[in-house]
Amino acid sequence: MSDANAPWLIVGLGNPGPDYAANRHNVGFMVADLLAERMGGKFKRAQKAQAQLVEGRIGAPGPSGRRVVLAKPMSYMNLSGGPVTSLRDFYKVPTANIVAIHDELDIDYGTLRLKLGGGDNGHNGLKSMTKSMGADYHRVRFGIGRPPGRMQVADFVLKDFSSAERKELGYLVDRTADAVECLVTEGLERAQSTYNS
């Protein structure tokens, strides 16, 4: 069990810069942006790590809300572990209170799965985080499906969502943000039973 007063570190995984902003690989950033908006905060460059941060609370208003550090690493995806580990150490966040929000190839588009620990499934952001601090953090996995035909995985994840996918994207990002809030305030089992599809 984690310390009830310890902060949570919620990390949206993605690549920095406008060229990547609408890519499938950047859905973690999209969810983080929505969570920041809900918390009433704006991302600011962190002095202590290569990341943008919002600090605030999730859940009930006032002191009963959970203290949260919301982060978007500004390293590239495959180097996410460094900034996340720096933030974990600076804010003294237990590894079990870290949540990575990321795209997942092995799940159909729009399907959501939450879990604690596990492998990286070839995801470079998770690979980097696990190498830096072990695998015992939460993952909120946003399904993007497999590439069509013979398209390479790297090309697929660095392409923008298709026009058909974009019709549902706003709703799905909103639902993913709800799932993250549920995980932090009510625990993994409740979040899984409500949002795993």
Element (H, E) at 45: strand 44-45
The pLDDT-based confidence of 135 (bands split at 50, 70, 90) is: very high
- Closest to 36 measured CA to CA, from 1, 13, 68, 3: 68
Whether 2 has a pLDDT exceeding 60, the answer reads no
- Report whether 19 contacts 101 (CB < 8 A): no
pTM of the model: 0.95
Q: Indicate which residues carry an active-site annotation.
A: 25
Q: For the segment 51-75, what is each residue's pLDDT rounded down to a tens digit?
A: 999 999 998 776 668 999 999 999 9
* Span 18-42, pLDDT tens digits: 999 999 999 999 999 999 999 999 9
161: closest CA among 174, 147, 141?
147
In 3D, which of 47, 27, 35 has the Cα closest to residue 10? 35
What is the Rg, in whole angstroms, of the alpha carbon atoms belonging to the chain?
15
- In this prediction, residue 47 has a pLDDT band, given cuts at 50, 70 and 90, of confident
DSSP letter for 148, please: S
> Per DSSP, what are the bridge partners of residue 9?
69, 98
State the Cα–Cα distance between residues 92 and 111, nearest whole angstrom: 32
CA distances from 193 to 116, 152, 187, 190 (A): 14, 34, 10, 5
Q: What would the two tokens of residue 106 be?
A: 């092995």
**How many whole angstroms separate alpha carbon 173 and alpha carbon 176?**
5
